[in-house]
Amino acid sequence: MLTNFARTQAKELLNSIAVGLNRLGFTPNTMTLLGFALICIIALIIAAGYEALGGILLIFGAALDATDGALARLTNRVTKFGGFLDSSLDRYADGVLMLALVWRGIEYNNRWIIMLAIVALIGAFLVSYTRARAESAGVMLKEGFFTRLERMIVIVLGLLSTLFIPQTGLIIMLVILAILSNATAIQRIWLTQQKLGEQ
């Protein structure tokens, strides 16, 4: 899974950033809230029609989003509420980004963009929900070939592609998101059934 690879490769960098944030007095929950606020601003930029700029800023938004966990581990502030808050705001972040794309679909008068954004959002929510429900049933479930990091990479590339193919770039991006997110949710349902050993 790309998430684990990226986390391993970026560990030292995130730890260095976390040291600096700790010296400045930031807490993990503060970084979670700041990361979400930045995503909301990016969503407004995308909705305003600056999709490529939103893609560039989303790179920094995704990086900021990763600092809260590193800061929590560095300062020994890993808490259940911190994890809950981070996961909850991640879902809100998914929602506001897709809402911005729905707005672009309205502006373009393109029903495909609107519908695909909704289907992609359903898939994104189900990827998270299936893991949460599996773990509540006692099944550890981190597997999944298209999780949040992969989605963010596709969104960034899709937004940047609008410099060359505005509506087509969004449609291609949303088709990938819609198919692979929902496929991952189905994958997790199947894995949970296998791990529980129930028919």
Judge whether 94 counts as a catalytic residue.
Answer: no
3-class SS of residue 140: coil
The CA dihedral of 148, 150, 154, 157, to the nearest 10 degrees, is 110
From 65, 86, 90, 94, the catalytic residue: 90
Which region, left, alpha or beta, applies to residue 197 given φ > 0 means left and ψ of -120 to 50 means alpha? left
The CA dihedral of 133, 150, 159, 93, to the nearest 10 degrees, is 30
Catalytic residues: 90
